[in-house]
Amino acid sequence: MKQSLTLIPTLREMPSDIEVKSHKMLLRAGFLRQSTSGVYSYLPLAKRVLNKLEKMISEEMEKLGAIEITLPSLQPKDILQHSFRFNEKDEEVLHLKDRNERQLILAPSHEEVMTQLMRDEIKSYKKLPITFYQIQSKFRDESRPRFGLLRSKEFLMKAAYSYHATEESLETTYLQMSEVYSNILSRLGLYYEVVDADTRSIGGLKAQEFIIASENGETTIAYSDESNYASNIEVAPVVSTYPSSEKPMNPLEKVETPQVKTIEEVCSFFTKEQTDCMKSIVFNVDGEFVVVLVRGDHQINPIKLRNVLKAHSLSLATEEEIQQLLGCTLGSIGPIKLPVNVKVVADLAIQSIRNGIAGANEDGYHYINVNPERDFAINSYEDIRYIQEGDPSPDGNGTIRLKKGIEVGHIRMSGTELTEKFNANFIDENGQSKPMYMGSFGLGISRLLAVMAEMYQDDHGFVWPKQFSPYDVHLIPVNINDEVQFDLASQLYHILTSYHFDVLFDDRDERAGVKFIDSDLIGLPVRVTIGKRASEGIVEVKIRRTGEIFEWAKEELIDRLNEYFRSH
Amino acid sequence: MKQSLTLIPTLREMPSDIEVKSHKMLLRAGFLRQSTSGVYSYLPLAKRVLNKLEKMISEEMEKLGAIEITLPSLQPKDILQHSFRFNEKDEEVLHLKDRNERQLILAPSHEEVMTQLMRDEIKSYKKLPITFYQIQSKFRDESRPRFGLLRSKEFLMKAAYSYHATEESLETTYLQMSEVYSNILSRLGLYYEVVDADTRSIGGLKAQEFIIASENGETTIAYSDESNYASNIEVAPVVSTYPSSEKPMNPLEKVETPQVKTIEEVCSFFTKEQTDCMKSIVFNVDGEFVVVLVRGDHQINPIKLRNVLKAHSLSLATEEEIQQLLGCTLGSIGPIKLPVNVKVVADLAIQSIRNGIAGANEDGYHYINVNPERDFAINSYEDIRYIQEGDPSPDGNGTIRLKKGIEVGHIRMSGTELTEKFNANFIDENGQSKPMYMGSFGLGISRLLAVMAEMYQDDHGFVWPKQFSPYDVHLIPVNINDEVQFDLASQLYHILTSYHFDVLFDDRDERAGVKFIDSDLIGLPVRVTIGKRASEGIVEVKIRRTGEIFEWAKEELIDRLNEYFRSH
């Protein structure tokens, strides 16, 4: 491709409001432009990378026996009635109406419409198992779409859905898909981790996520410093034990604490540790209020909380609700003397607090010498806090550390809950009607582009891996007005192309400096520069990744490039 | 692909409410399912055909030097302010809001967002001309989505947009694109016509459409029975001449005509011809009322009307507006004694009416002996009717005939009107800032699938052309429980696949009759049946298109199939 005929709008300066390294370079090197908030146009270079990603992913899917299908983006709103992941009020879902006032949504996922299709078209165990995949745009209304492709409203995904007669069959496909995802990420040269993930939102049996460590990630991984344990902190269980105290219980006392609200203020007021404090939060759980207690140094994990309470909906109570319920503000809530109909759920760590501090449900006051069971009733103790650094690893080996990561893939054994909701049944070998088992698998293709853009760059621009670079070779005549240089460049362009190299030919009438800066930004694996030694038939070859520079005769170019591209 | 592992839900019976032949067969042969009104899922076989179409179309685009890009479906609503084809009130456009109440649309076209990108990224004549293409879903809210893929709300298109420094350069690309479209349709074996199309809605210089004749088409083509003249009737000029009458003018007379409303009723009441009658219709043209006159046997062409009036918006006046303006109902409108501010625009044929009949703007009355100019003023005579069968061909050769067709492609020289609206300017060689010239080109990929589905079928099912068939060979062991048959079939499956034939292997435990009926429905070019002579190593080969049947030894199968697939 002649560079004059394509669009690569590289930037010398970067808009200062871009926070993410990958996004910054995609803009700077002319791969991407924002079209509207959270929505992007893929310019020609990005499109070439995406095409290579899609082709490779399709190959891997076909190897697994998955069948390609295309499901539509427009879906009737009522399909969400049966969804686990989304409901009709979900702010992530984009709604619209057609001219006949029919309520539609833009598919945030296709597992519902796929399951509907299965219900209608597959009746017999003879047609199971079956696995479908599609590569398509999905739409989610991100609340703060500011991380470029990592949080866009319209994004490209490979989704796969599998249906089975038995759980064993589902598990087989689940494990195969896990292997395929590992292959794909390895082929991309990405270092990933497979972590346990929440299954509740898909009503499922088992779920894992493929995470690429990155400070820009929205996912926090808890991992062991000694074993290979790793989990999304959303689900990592806490296995800490809390020995009960031998200290005697002192009498409960109510103390005036003007202006004392946060845990830090409480500790400093009483010169106590955070571990002596109880944090009390009111949740609205399926319409009923529940006071949730965790130790002052712990954080409530709403996903664990929802799972242990088997709640359909769970949200923080509003300030008004708290005022009405307890007659105090957010910072003064406590577990003592609650209205009779309010349950108390406490984290396991609360058990071992002796003579602790808690809010008094009265602004400006706290209780001290609070002892659970003695001073207030607890409906149940549960593991409801986030695991944190320093906690023992749940697998018994080592200590937990945290890091940020980007979720690029997920694999889920959804079981029968979705198929039951859709009545997606089949007749088994004994003539019995049963719900199918379902697996659900996703791989974020535009996210992979972002992850690669983050990983494959240096101070000067991108450093694309050979297999997924927009082009193989950047061919640059230093001065296109020098006839010898330009003729040799044109000649090499034709030869390289005929040997099936993808060549970007910089035929622009620009200064050499501009071309080299652009070339480093774009980051193709090999740069071939035709300069002063063109008359001798000598070209300069620079390997972008290593910075190595060679001078090769034009006659040896093809062989040497073939050698380079075949090697690892 | 083993048939047991994919989804081909063929139907024995057809839902009776399907009107269109192509759609019927796509449903019956298990290629397509409706997901919701006007929205379809492409099942595995359809997806394979689409993939082949996309690949071929991409090849043709690349040959032309067009660059692939991906523009988003979500667009800000205000982009329509600058659109020619759509406005914000357009019922075809699907609107939505994000959680921040930002108004968005689902792109019915991408020429606006592409032009915006050009404005932002291209500044110099050195970067022109440049042509982009993309293959993507577009969204339009069809009013009556009942023709399957021909009228779907979410459809697949190849769009291309080109930008130029001069009109000549635009014309060059326009002609090249025309040739490429011709190539594409020829490669698909489709008989197409290129007809003139309306340019006004895109503010353009020249526009043509590629039409496939079909009784299910929504486009009417006017063509000459003697020359190769063909045009969309939306724009075909009428070149009929209307000799003025020598008959004397009779005195104007108002006649009571109870219950007489339609032209047919008027003719029968007065025993006159339709050519003696004037049809009067009130239009709302940019907020002003205009009475439009055509002869009783003619139909008003609103596109011509809008163009001659240079109107931005044009719609029929409502019954209430007519009542208020003229004090009568729809069937009694006439050109005599109109309010002073109401213009009259008449078709050219009105000139020659002598002693005609017209409504009296009073229910239950008509005027007879109406003579234009004498009895009422006419602001202008224009060519504002649809051409019709029997009219002389506009090129002077032959007589016009009409037929229905499906628009599968369009090419448009849009000129500078859109780029001017977007300020998409470039600096020319003399340092002058000028608007770019733009070309806009579309090819309906899901429509092409529908057109092929209509053309390539017989009474038993599809008859896919070799190059665009979902698979090459349908391999069918008559009885999979016969070990000899199944072993030979399995052996041939591996051999054929290793020779790069795409094989659909019917490994289902079904009766032979069921398999053969399905095979005819699916319509792959070649069926290889392994039956009784399997033990001798003899297979039966049926050519779907011709119905020819051969018995070939397994050893000669590859050579003979290679020969067949290489031939035309």
Looking up residue B338, the CATH number of its domain turns out to be: 3.90.960.10
B33 and A113 within 8 Å at the Cβ level: the answer is no
Please state the separation of Cα A23 from the chain's center in Å: 16
Q: Are residues B174 and B46 in the same domain?
A: yes
B69 and A7 within 8 Å at the Cβ level: the answer is yes
Q: Are residues A346 and A433 in the same domain?
A: no
Picking from B552, B483, B542, the residue whose alpha carbon sits closest to that of residue B515 is B542
B40 and A72 within 8 Å at the Cβ level: the answer is yes
- Yes or no: say if A42 and A62 are a contact pair by the CB < 8 Å rule: no
A98 contact residues in B (CB cutoff 8 A):
37, 94, 141, 153
Chain A closest CA to B118's CA: distance in Å?
9
Which value, to the nearest 10 degrees, does the dihedral of the CA atoms of residues A389, A394, A397, A403 take? -40
Asked if residue B84 is part of any domain, the answer here is yes
A41 contact residues in B (CB cutoff 8 A):
69-72, 113, 117
Does B48 contact A at CB distance below 8 Å? yes
Check residue B209 and give its pLDDT.
Answer: 94
Check residue A13 and give its pLDDT.
Answer: 80
Q: What is the pLDDT of residues B177-227, one digit of tens each?
A: 999 999 999 999 998 989 988 776 555 688 999 999 888 888 899 999 999
B5 and A65 within 8 Å at the Cβ level: the answer is yes
B130 contact residues in A (CB cutoff 8 A):
5-7
Check residue A80 and give its pLDDT.
Answer: 82
Band (pLDDT 50/70/90 cuts) for residue B85 is low
To probe the interface with B, which of A49, A64, A74 has the most B CB atoms within 10 Å?
A74
What is the amino acid identity at position A171?
A: E
- Yes or no: say if B368 and B342 are a contact pair by the CB < 8 Å rule: no
Q: What is the pLDDT of residues A32-63, one digit of tens each?
A: 999 988 899 999 999 999 999 999 999 999 99
Q: Strand, helix or coil at A79?
A: helix
Check residue A150 and give its pLDDT.
Answer: 85
HSE toward the beta carbon, residue B176, CA cutoff 13 A: 18
Does A99 contact B at CB distance below 8 Å? yes
In this structure, the number of other CB atoms found within 10 A of the CB of residue A432 comes to 10
Q: Which residues contact A404 (CB under 8 A, 6 or more apart)?
A: A213, A214, A215, A216, A217, A218, A219, A220, A221
Please state the separation of Cα A432 from the chain's center in Å: 40
Check residue A188 and give its pLDDT.
Answer: 93
In this structure, the number of other CB atoms found within 10 A of the CB of residue B124 comes to 11
Q: Are residues A81 and A156 in the same domain?
A: yes
Asked if residue A162 is part of any domain, the answer here is yes
Q: Could you tell me the CA-to-CA distances from B3 to A69, B477, B480, B493 in Å, in that order? A: 15, 12, 13, 12
Q: Are residues B427 and B488 in the same domain?
A: no
Q: Are residues A445 and A493 in the same domain?
A: no
Band (pLDDT 50/70/90 cuts) for residue B14 is confident
What residues in chain A have per-residue pLDDT under 70?
Answer: 15, 84-89, 145-146, 200-204, 568
* Inter-chain contacts counted by CB atoms under 8 A, chains A and B: 159
A39 and B99 within 8 Å at the Cβ level: the answer is no
Chain A closest CA to B564's CA: distance in Å?
27
Does A514 contact B at CB distance below 8 Å? no
Instruction: Please say which residue of A324, A349, A382 terminates a domain.
Output: A382
In this structure, the number of other CB atoms found within 10 A of the CB of residue B351 comes to 16
B73 and A121 within 8 Å at the Cβ level: the answer is no
Does A547 contact B at CB distance below 8 Å? no
Phi first, then psi, for residue A236 (nearest 5°) are -60, 125
A65 contact residues in B (CB cutoff 8 A):
5
Q: Are residues B73 and B206 in the same domain?
A: yes
A6 and B67 within 8 Å at the Cβ level: the answer is yes
Q: Which residues contact B90 (CB under 8 A, 6 or more apart)?
A: B80, B108
Tell me the C-alpha distance between B232 and B255, whole Å.
40
Asked if residue B46 is part of any domain, the answer here is yes
Between β-strands A473-477 and A503-505, what pairing exists: parallel, antiparallel or unpaired?
parallel
Which of the 8 DSSP states describes residue A499?
T
When CB atoms are compared, the residue of A46, A70, A100 closest to B42 is: A70
Q: In the structure encoding, which two tokens stand for residue A308, read together?
A: 């242990």
Tell me the C-alpha distance between B72 and B458, whole Å.
39
A72 and B35 within 8 Å at the Cβ level: the answer is yes
The answer to which of A32-46, B72-86, B92-106, B426-440 has the lowest mean pLDDT is B72-86
Chain A closest CA to B245's CA: distance in Å?
49
HSE toward the beta carbon, residue A108, CA cutoff 13 A: 21
Does B101 contact A at CB distance below 8 Å? no
Q: Are residues B33 and B125 in the same domain?
A: yes
Q: What is the pLDDT of residues A157-172, one digit of tens each?
A: 999 999 999 999 999 9
Which of the 8 DSSP states describes residue B23?
H
Asked if residue A180 is part of any domain, the answer here is yes
When CB atoms are compared, the residue of A72, A121, A126 closest to B9 is: A121
In this structure, the number of other CB atoms found within 10 A of the CB of residue A313 comes to 11
Asked if residue B236 is part of any domain, the answer here is no
Instruction: Provide Rg for chain B, Cα atoms.
Output: 29
Asked if residue A321 is part of any domain, the answer here is yes
Check residue A324 and give its pLDDT.
Answer: 92
Q: Give the A window 239-278 contacts with B, CB below 8 Å.
A: none
Range of the domain at B312: 253-382
Q: Are residues A63 and A90 in the same domain?
A: yes
In this structure, the number of other CB atoms found within 10 A of the CB of residue A89 comes to 8
Check residue A215 and give its pLDDT.
Answer: 84
Instruction: Please say which residue of A453, A488, A513 terminates a domain.
Output: A453
Q: What is the pLDDT of residues B37-57, one digit of tens each?
A: 889 999 999 999 999 999 999
Which of A158-162, B142-146, B317-321: highest mean pLDDT? A158-162
Chain B closest CA to A154's CA: distance in Å?
7
B47 and A68 within 8 Å at the Cβ level: the answer is yes
Q: Are residues B150 and B261 in the same domain?
A: no
Please state the separation of Cα B253 from the chain's center in Å: 47
Q: Give the A window 315-374 contacts with B, CB below 8 Å.
A: none
Tell me the C-alpha distance between A452 and A437, whole Å.
34
Q: Give the B window 451-510 contacts with A, CB below 8 Å.
A: 508-509
A76 and B5 within 8 Å at the Cβ level: the answer is no
Chain B closest CA to A528's CA: distance in Å?
23
Chain B closest CA to A38's CA: distance in Å?
10
| Residue A477 burial (10 A CB sphere; 0-12, 13-18, 19+) | buried
Q: In the structure encoding, which two tokens stand for residue B422, read together?
A: 């977007």
Tell me the C-alpha distance between B537 and B554, whole Å.
6
Chain B closest CA to A141's CA: distance in Å?
6
Asked if residue A15 is part of any domain, the answer here is no
Which residues are A368's β-sheet partners? A253
* Start-to-end Cα distance in chain A: 25
CATH code at position B173: 3.30.930.10
Q: Which residues contact B231 (CB under 8 A, 6 or more apart)?
A: B195, B196, B197, B221, B222, B223, B387, B394
B65 and A139 within 8 Å at the Cβ level: the answer is no
Does A15 contact B at CB distance below 8 Å? no
Q: What is the mean pLDDT of chain B?
A: 92
DSSP A307-325: HHTT-S-EEEPPHHHHHHH
Tell me the C-alpha distance between A403 and A233, whole Å.
10
Q: Are residues A432 and A283 in the same domain?
A: no
What is the amino acid identity at position A479?
A: N
Tell me the C-alpha distance between B549 and B535, whole Å.
19
Picking from A38, A35, A28, A85, the residue whose alpha carbon sits closest to that of residue A442 is A85
Q: Which residues contact B352 (CB under 8 A, 6 or more apart)?
A: B242, B243, B244, B245
CATH code at position A478: 3.40.50.800
Q: Are residues B198 and B279 in the same domain?
A: no
Q: Are residues A149 and A211 in the same domain?
A: yes
The model carries a pTM of 0.88
Number of domains chain B is built from:
3
B39 and A72 within 8 Å at the Cβ level: the answer is yes
Between β-strands B39-42 and B32-36, what pairing exists: parallel, antiparallel or unpaired?
antiparallel
When CB atoms are compared, the residue of A117, A126, A139 closest to B41 is: A117
Q: Strand, helix or coil at A200?
A: helix
Chain A closest CA to B43's CA: distance in Å?
5
Tell me the C-alpha distance between B377 and B356, whole Å.
15
Asked if residue A449 is part of any domain, the answer here is yes
